[in-house]
Amino acid sequence: MNRVIINTKIVGKRGPALTPLVLETSEDRPTLCALIEAIVREQVGSFRDRQQSRRLLHILTEKQMAAGVEAGKLAFGGDDLDQAVDVDAAIDAACTAFRDALFFVFLNGAQVMTLDETVELGPSTEALFVRLVPLAGG
């Protein structure tokens, strides 16, 4: 089993864009496209799980309520957001964004240039997704 630790960065911003993600996969040499597909499927599954858990009512502690008041939002659950996600459309959007150079991918420090490029995965592979932000007025 291979483990890919996925970090994210937005050019021009400090710190990671998201909390690091971990993807477990049995593939040793997928294409970048297949790796992106696996990541998107994992994230859509996580989104659906979070959506499902928001349907339940939660009892908040005093500390959680204070933190919610400070943040300007109290969430008790009981929400039925039912936001449908087309996983195939999300995969297509991610691959199109890579082709359009909206983000770069580095595996163990080496940039992956094309979606068809085979990537070498191991027991602990580091991936970095770097999102580019267009210049204003440029």
Give CA–CA dist 96/125, Å, rounded: 24
Q: In the numeric block, which tokens belong to residue 66?
A: 């204070």
pLDDT tens profile 31-54 = 999 999 999 999 998 888 777 766
User: What CATH class has 2-131?
Assistant: alpha beta
Domain ranges of the chain: 2-131
Average pLDDT estimate for 8-19: 88
- Residue 21: band (very low, low, confident or very high) from pLDDT cuts 50, 70, 90: very high
